Every structure is written in structure tokens, then in C-alpha cells.
Structure 1
């Protein structure tokens, strides 16, 4: 099965945060606060994918109020933070949503993501993802993490499912 056939079956798409939605760098202040930078075009890609009917999830190893805020801003209600076993977390989420592993996709970049990436129906990573991750995914983006990689995956799924023209039509009117 090719990457478009895999992407066409996605009903729930999950994303890691650090190294996927962000460039992976963490900025710490002297007070111990930290921040992350998100790319606005990735955000619109996520909104377009959700508009097409694909459910969105965030499954990340770090627990951060910044992620909670970004997810709320994007309308992503399925947010699992502080997760060590992402495969088990996705399996539980899919059970609640009445979906199968073949109907989900995940985008991650590091070894912690690999167990999930190897079993989901569609998998993606970024160009600087860990070499073992790049070996085991269906799709490696051209765009870098935190700079359009998420948008690229969202558009790939939209095109594979035949929804691209419909979701962009309002912008062309």
C-alpha cells in the first residue's frame, strides 16, 4: 500500500509536539519558565484537516500548559500529555473513538514515537527525525519541524482523501 492509500484511510491523526509541531528547541528563562514556538501555517493546516472530518490528537511525552493553550486555540480536544507509552495511549484513544489502528495516523520524530509509528495505519516524520524513525515511517516531510512539516502532512491527507479542493474553496471564492 502506498503513502496516499495509507493517508486516505486516516480518521484520526495524532501529532507529537517537540520536534514536530515545534523545531524541538526549548527556551528557558532564568526563572525556570519555558516557551515553544509554533508555526501559524501548521495551525491552519490542522484546522483544515479537522474541517474535513479527520479527528486530531496530540500525544506528547512532555506535560506543558503551553501545549494545552495551543491545542485549545486550534480546537484540538484530544490532548494526552506526559505520555511515556504512546502506542498504548493511542490504543486507548482509538477504543474511545471506536476506531482501529489502521484508521489512525501519527507524526513523531524520536525513538519514543517509534512503537506507535510502526503500528498505525499512516506514519510520518520530519527530515531531521531520528534515523530509525525515518526508516520506519511511510512519509518523511520536505519541510522541517516547526516550519511547515505538519502543514505538509495535513495537505497530503486532504489530497489523499479527495478533500483538498473542498476545504480550500472558501479561500478561492
Structure 2
């Protein structure tokens, strides 16, 4: 069971860097291959806008993933995500290096993953999150469990949660009401 929401919000309020896994988080985890062997991934536009809003609010966004895909590179470029790490076997080590290069303490970092291989990095960050359909064991060890599944708005939900915890969500949303 995750911590109470106020515990999670306290951790999310301190974030200056939020990193995400891809398969099962930014996508639903299904792997599609064409007859030529090309990989196809489906991303949520809701999640994409949430990532852009995080960046606009001053939170650095990174992708740290175990697989390597040209589709992920294209998506990161499209969203303006400069910190992209693919084909990573030790995600915690990459986070440590990124944190050091950005001069951030671990309590100012967060990660969203969905499977047990993500637990070392999830536990090394000040804020951890998973998707509703993440592995049960992972859901037992994170600060925040999204109500939505991977690739289906879970990332947007977490982005909104972080922005809300930092007092930035409502002002950002209000700008869309102005004519």
C-alpha cells in the first residue's frame, strides 16, 4: 500500500527532476513490430502535454529506460526532453550521474516505473510513482499509484499531482480559460 496522499504531496513538492520509464509507463507496455522488424510505440498526447507542463513549471524531465528505440528518441525530441537515456541496465546509476551533473540531492528527484527492475531507482529517489497496472510488488513500494494505466494518462496524472503539490497546476490550467 502506498503512503497517504499528504506524504506523497510533500515529496512531490520538492521535485526539481522527474524521470520516467517508457514501456508500461509512457506506453501501455505492448511491443509492436512490423514485418521488417521496426518497432512501433503508441504514446498518449495527454501524457505529452503533462510532460510539457512540468518543464514549463521548471521541473527537469528525463527518460531513463532499459530498451532502445528510435520512436522514443523521436518522442523525447518532440517534447523537448533533453535528458534521454536508453538501453540502460543500471537506472539507479544513471539517475545518480544525472543528479550529480545537475547538482541535485536525491530528495529533489523522482521516478515513475512499472516493474520490479525499476525498484532500485524508485527507492533511490525522493518521490516514486507507478501506474495503476504496474506490478503489484512495485505498487507496494512507491509514494504514488496512478489511477490510470501506462500509456493511458497515468503520466499526466502524476504530472498534475506534482504541479498541484508545488502550487503550480491551478495557475497553469487557468490560462486556458482566458479568451
Which TM-score band applies after superposition, normalised by the shorter structure? over 0.9
- Please give the alpha-carbon distance, in whole angstroms, between the structure 2 residues aligned to 1:100 and 1:166: 27
Q: CA deviation at 1:29?
A: 1.1
2:173 to 165, 168, 172: 168
- Under a length normalisation based on structure 1, what TM-score does the superposition of the two structures give? 0.98
The answer for the alignment partner of 1:70 in structure 2 is 75
List, as ranges, runs of 4+ consecutive aligned residues in structure 1 with deviation greater than 4 Å: none
The 2-side partners of 1:143 and 1:135 are apart by 16
Q: Which stretches in structure 2 are left out of the alignment for 5+ residues?
A: 1-5
Match of 1:19 in 2: 24
1:13 shift after superposition: 0.1
- What is the aligned partner in structure 2 of residue 152 from structure 1? 157
**Secondary structure at the residue paired with 1:19?**
coil
1:112 Cα deviation after fit:
1.4
Q: TM-score, normalised by structure 2?
A: 0.94
The counterpart of 2:33, out of the listed 28, 44, 47, is 28
What are the ranges of 5 or more consecutive residues in structure 1 without an aligned counterpart?
Answer: none
**1:131 and 2:168 correspond:** no
C-alpha distance in 2 between matches for 1:6 and 1:21: 22
Q: Distance in 2 between matches of 1:59 and 1:100?
A: 18
CA distance in 2, matches of 1:101, 1:86: 14
Q: Cα distance, 1:111 vs. partner?
A: 1.4
Matched, 1:43 2:76: no
Find the counterpart in structure 2 of residue 117 from structure 1: 122
Find 2:94's aligned residue among 68, 89, 95: 89
| Structure 2 SS opposite 1:20 | coil
**How many residues matched?**
173
Offset from partner CA, 1:113-157 (integer Å, 9 cap, x none): 100111200000011111111111001100111010000000000
